[in-house]
Structure 1
Amino acid sequence: MMNDILQAYGLITPGSIKPFGDGLINHTWKIEDEKGSFILQKINTGVFKHPEYISENIKAVSGYLSVHHPAYFFCTPVTTTQLDDLVYTSEGCFRMYPFIKNSHTINVAENAGQAFEAARMFGELTKLLAGFPVDKLKITLPDFHNISLRYNDFLKAVVHGNKERIQQSSSLINFLKSQQHIVAEYEQLKTSGALKPRVTHHDTKINNVLLDDNNKGICVIDLDTLMPGYFISDVGDMMRTYISPFGEEEKNFSKLEMREDYFTAIAEGYLYEMRNELNEAELNHFVFAGKFMIYMQALRFLTDYLNNDIYYGRKYEEHNFVRAGNQVHLLQLLIEKEARFQEITNRITFPKKTTRQNH
């Protein structure tokens, strides 16, 4: 199977083929060949039902950037000997990227400087694509960040889910219901036109940025969810995954934090690029982005738990219950810090671009 795929790219006798990274969705290998080093991925068509949509979006964005911002490094797939971006076999759908030399990724922000750099990279991509006709992009994951849908799914699970788990989760359920105003506020922002549709990455975990040996950004990767969206998706996911030193798997909620220096790094990095792109309403809802994303993830984890773990799966009986509780606690911490974080956002301005010195 692998030989057929590699031959499609003209790689006859690769020196080595090794599993690479720890992504949860696609299977990935690093290929070493006399022609160079490459990353091969098998696209999870159970999640991405139209891989061609991903390919079309990347082509469209790449074409725009090559004309309007030719100096920007945008990593595009390697084409086959037949100039195709995708290879279909009986085993699935595959694509290949060049391996970028002297690059690495990290799974956790180890310092605020890394958080700044990642936030800047995601902001830069969206800024450079400000003139791109966003309605031309295909939707690769329908309803990915549709919080109203997630809330309705949650309400259904509260009625029709596992009765014992519903009873066990009563305090989490009551809290999440009490925060329904987050859904209402999001819908009001959309309806009023305050949120501008933009080319949005939608998966801004820090391991989706390639860094050089000095931890400076090289490029944004994992473009499967590059599609129309709102800035709150990208900023919210950064806040959810960078600010606390421990992620959603942590059982000891007392370890969770809302670290002010990491929030400041995200705001400075993203607004370094996007300050003049965001409107006043968007700037006033910068911190709301974190509430939006954390709340939505809490809804999704608890919904799955009440539905007997049909989506995320589990490693132990109460895994999704713990994940939901973790995110609820994180949301509570953010609510406590909300005024302070918005104050930080309000004072961040960039009358001229300067190099950040304090990280």
Structure 2
Amino acid sequence: MDARLTDFIKQHVLVHFDLNWLELGDSLQLSPLGKGHINQTFLVQWPQGAMVLQRINTHVFSCPKSLMDNLHRVYQCLMGSHLDKQDPLTRYQLAIPRPLMTNKHQSMLDLGEQGVWRGMEYLESSHCIEQVDTSAQAETAARAFAHFSRHLMAIEPDKMQDVIPDFHDLSQRIKSLTQTVKEDPRQRLEGCQHWVDFAVNQTNFIEEVNHTLSLLPRRICHNDTKINNLLFKMHDMTAMAVIDLDTCMSGYLLYDFGDMVRTFCSTVEEDSHKLEQLGVRETIFAAICKGYLSELGDVISLAEKQSLWLGARLMCFMLGVRFLIDHLAGDHYFKIQYPGHNLVRAANQFTLYQRLLEQEADLVAYIY
């Protein structure tokens, strides 16, 4: 970890959370945590405890206050259910990482050009995985994310703020793609015209999405149900906590289901360029359906259940569009490791969308 960043955090950030770096000396340790594309996340450890520290990406989250207001609303809702001793069978069963307040009892620390920072409780004996290897992992995660969504149904959708407007609005994403293609600010269109044409020509699919969403009830969704946003208990690999709640907003359950399919089921990693090896793992898809529907089957409408297959296709296609826009615009949203990284990701996701269509008859049977 960069020494200058470490010194800055110790001297100018942690002091606002009652951590005296002079007294703790070398016993205060900082290390990067996780592999998220958006925020910078660190694990802070000292002899008496630990915390998670994040620098919020204000390019992505332009109104951090809205983000933190949503986070506290979700935390209060889940804590209310978790502490409900009247009906333990319906109580929220997972741990809920606590947002940490600053010395001035503020939910975040705004240091101007030096960033917006926040602290979160660190859950000891937790374990995070970066990819799904077994059906058991997929089923456990699907059940946990469904459990999370079920308990957030107590929040009226309009009570949550849209921290990223039009986040899963496919029509708006296509409009953004069209505008970015027109401007071509980095002169990259020539190298990806094939995928641009592929995306904008999916007009029937876009119409299907718009029609289906008009028939569904809005829910509070996590909106980023990757496997590394679930913590497992280290000793038995059961679900411990749903984390990374920044994108919790109103939406449709098909978003969360689809994002699990997108990130759990592929035979290659999200940024793999080996498209000839990319396929959909049917056993993992089946496990997602089993876990998700076993938890939500009695509280969702028939229309919502029928929309899940649309969600499976939508989320990989939508991410393909988003990766493609970011590549054309200059890689401002998603972190990249090399030039053209976002184009590789876009091709990967569009190919996954095609593979899902090829296996549709077999996969849909697990939903119905």
TM-score, length of structure 1 as denominator length:
0.88
Q: Distance in 1 between matches of 2:145 and 2:363?
A: 20
Partner of 1:11: 19
| Of 178, 196, 199, the match for 2:220 | 199
Partner of 1:185: 208
**Structure 2 counterpart of 1:30, which letter?**
L
With 86-95 and 99-108 compared, the bigger mean Cα shift is at 86-95
Aligned 8 A contact 2:135 2:283 in 1: yes
Superposition CA RMSD, Å: 2.3
SS in 2 for 1:285: helix
Q: Distance in 2 between matches of 1:123 and 1:177?
A: 32
Partner of 1:289: 311
Aligned 8 A contact 1:210 1:221 in 2: yes
1:74-89 equivalences under 5 Å are 74-89=96-111
Partner of 1:219: 241
Aligned 8 A contact 1:108 1:207 in 2: yes
Partner of 2:231: 210
Partner of 1:57: 70
1:110-125 equivalences under 5 Å are 110-125=133-148
Partner of 2:4: none
SS in 2 for 1:258: coil
**Structure 2 counterpart of 1:16, which letter?**
L
- 1:109 Cα deviation (Å)? 0.9
Q: Distance in 1 between matches of 2:121 and 2:127?
A: 13
Deviation by residue 1:235-267 (Cα, 9 ceiling, x = unmatched) = 111111110131231111122110111001111
SS in 1 for 2:279: coil
With 124-133 and 168-177 compared, the bigger mean Cα shift is at 168-177
Structure 2 gap segments, 5+ residues each: 1-7, 84-90
Report the count of equivalent residues. 344
Partner of 2:125: 102
Q: Distance in 2 between matches of 1:286 and 1:122?
A: 14
**Structure 1 counterpart of 2:356, which letter?**
L
Structure 1 gap segments, 5+ residues each: 347-359
Partner of 1:45: 58
Deviation by residue 1:96-120 (Cα, 9 ceiling, x = unmatched) = 1221111011111121211111111
Q: Distance in 2 between matches of 1:337 and 1:32?
A: 47
**Structure 1 counterpart of 2:275, which letter?**
F
- 1:50 Cα deviation (Å)? 1.6
Partner of 1:350: none
Aligned 8 A contact 1:126 1:199 in 2: yes
SS in 1 for 2:99: coil
Q: Distance in 2 between matches of 1:29 and 1:168?
A: 36
Percent sequence identity over matched residues? 32
Partner of 2:161: 138
**Structure 1 counterpart of 2:306, which letter?**
N
Aligned 8 A contact 1:120 1:273 in 2: yes
Q: Distance in 2 between matches of 1:138 and 1:59?
A: 12
**Structure 2 counterpart of 1:83, which letter?**
H
Partner of 1:260: 282
- 1:230 Cα deviation (Å)? 1.0
Aligned 8 A contact 1:108 1:206 in 2: yes
Aligned 8 A contact 1:37 1:99 in 2: yes
Aligned 8 A contact 1:200 1:231 in 2: yes
Q: Distance in 2 between matches of 1:317 and 1:85?
A: 36
Deviation by residue 1:264-292 (Cα, 9 ceiling, x = unmatched) = 11111111211122211121121110111
**Structure 1 counterpart of 2:102, which letter?**
T
TM-score, length of structure 2 as denominator length:
0.86
Aligned 8 A contact 1:182 1:291 in 2: no
